[in-house]
Amino acid sequence: MSEDTLKIAEHTLLDAHGLKAAQLQQVFGNMLTHKVDYADLYFQYSRAESWALEEGIVKSGSFNIDQGVGVRAVSGDKTAFAYSDDITLAALQEAAVATRAIARQGGNQTAPILHRSKAHELYLPQDPIATLRADDKVALLERLERIARALDPRVTQVMANLAGEYDVVLVARNDGLMSADIRPLVRLSLQVIVEGNGKREQGSAGGGGRFGYDYFSEEILQRYAKEAVHQAVTNLDARPAPAGNMTVVLGNGWPGILLHEAVGHGLEGDFNRKGSSAFSGRVGKRVAAKGVTVVDDGTIKDRRGSLNIDDEGNLTQRTVLIEDGILRGYLQDSMNARLMGVPVTGNARRESFAHLPIPRMTNTMMLNGDTSPEEIIASVKHGLYAANFGGGQVDITSGKFVFSTTEAYMIEDGKVTYPVKGATLIGNGPDALTRISMIGNDMALDSGVGTCGKEGQSVPVGVGQPTVRIDGLTVGGTA
C-alpha cells in the first residue's frame, strides 16, 4: 500500500467526516468492555456507473455513490454486526454498542493503538470512471456495435454494456492494524443475435479488470466482437447434442468456471469447518488425479479477482489448495482460520460495508500439465469438446453440479467435427477431479468477466485452466 493510497483513503473516509484515528480507538474501547476474539471497522466509499447500448441507442445509463461503515465483533463462532451509511462518531458508537450483545463476559481489554499496515500494489489507485469522457464512453460502445455488425450480415441485434467502479476501503482492527485499498474495476460486455436458416442464436463476449477504460483498445474491441459473432454463428449450424456417458474435453480459460463452482466453493473454510463440504476432513488425502494442482491467487496484477488486501485487511496471497491430486488446505478468513487452528489465507471478502466478510475465492485456477491440447483431442475416439460455458449450479454438500455449454463440438476419431447445442454437463465435483486423465500445457485465465455469488453476496472473481480431458462424465443432450 503506497502512502498515497492510505492518505486518499483516510481523507475520503475519515477526514471528510470529521473523524480521526484516535476516535476509532475510542470506538474499539467501547466494543472491548467485554471479551471478544476479534473486532473490526470496515469503511467504504464506492462510485459506480453503467452504460447500456442497444440498436445504436444508449438505452440506459446509471451512476450511483454509496458509502458507509460496517462494525463487527466476533466471539467464538458467534458474530455481531451492525452497519451505517452515516459515517460519524455517533453512528460508530451506536453500532459498537449493538455488537456487544454477543461478547463473552470478562475483564476489560485495552483499546488498540492503530498503526498503518502495508499492502500489495497490484493495480494503480485510479478512478476508472474519470479515464474517459461521457461522450467517449458512448462512442466506445457504438464502435463495438459497428465492428460486430460488419463481421457478418446475419447479425441482427447488438447489445453492449460498459461499467466502471471506484472503490475506496479502510479497515481498522482490534489488533491495531489499519490498512487501506483503492480498487478500480471496469468491464465491457457484448451480446449479439444472429438470424439464418430460419433460426435465431446468440453469442456473447467481453472482459475487464482493475484498470481504466483505456484498456479497451481497437484490438480488444475486435477480439470481443469476433468471439461473440463466432459463438452465435456456430450455434446456427449446431446439431442437437447427444446424451449419455462420454469423454469430455474442457477448453482452456473461461471453462475453469466449472472448477470454480464444482470444486472451489467446496474448498472454502466455512463449509469445511461446519463439515458440510464434500472435501471436509480430507486434508492430506488424495482428492484428484495425479497431476491436478489447483491454486487460488489474489496477487495477479490487474486481474478482476485480485485484491491488495482482503476485506479484513490481510494481505492476499497465492494458496495451493490441491497439489498433484493431494488436498493441502482451504481458503480462510480470520474467524474460520482461528476456529480451525490454521493460518488465514487472505480470502475474507464482502460485497460492501453492509455485508459480513466470508471466505471467498479470488482467482482460482488449475495449473498446467505437460500435454498439448492437440494431443488431448487426438486421444478421444468419441466425446464432447466444451469450449465455452453459460450458467451452472452446484450442491456444496454433495458436490453435484449441472452446467450448460454455450459453445460445444463433437469429437470423432480424434478430431473436432460438428458443433452441437443444448449440451449439459452433469456430475460430481470431487468425482470429476479423479476422472481427469490428461492436462494441457495451455493454461489461460478468463478475460475478466466473472462474478461469484454466495450467501446473497456478489464479488468479482477470476478463473482459469488448461485444456483438460475428463473420462466418463454425464452429458445431458437434446438429441
Which residue blocks in 251-407 are alpha helix, DSSP H? 256-259, 269-273, 334-340, 373-378
What pLDDT score does 109 carry?
A: 65
The answer to whether residues 362 and 462 touch, using CB atoms and an 8 Å cutoff, is: yes
| Angstrom distance (rounded) from CA 152 to CA 150 | 6
Q: pTM of the predicted model, to two decimals?
A: 0.95
| Angstrom distance (rounded) from CA 259 to CA 248 | 14
C-alpha cell of 343?
A: 493460518
Indicate the DSSP class of residue 351: S
CA angle in degrees (0–180, nearest 5) for 414-415-416: 135
Residue 421's alpha-carbon distances to 231, 387, 390, in angstroms, are: 11, 12, 12
Indicate the DSSP class of residue 311: T
pLDDT at 105 over 80: no
What pLDDT score does 1 carry?
A: 52
- Return the percentage of the chain with pLDDT > 90, whole number: 85
Kindly state the helix (H) or strand (E) to which residue 4 belongs, with its residue range: helix 3-13
C-alpha cell of 206?
A: 467481453
| Angstrom distance (rounded) from CA 449 to CA 434 | 28
Beta-sheet strands, E only, within 305-369: 318-323, 326-327, 348-349, 358-359, 363-366
What pLDDT score does 478 carry?
A: 82
pLDDT at 106 over 60: no
What pLDDT score does 111 carry?
A: 64
What pLDDT score does 110 carry?
A: 66
Q: What is the mean pLDDT of residues 100-121?
A: 72
Average pLDDT, the chain: 94
Which residue blocks in 100-162 are alpha helix, DSSP H? 134-151
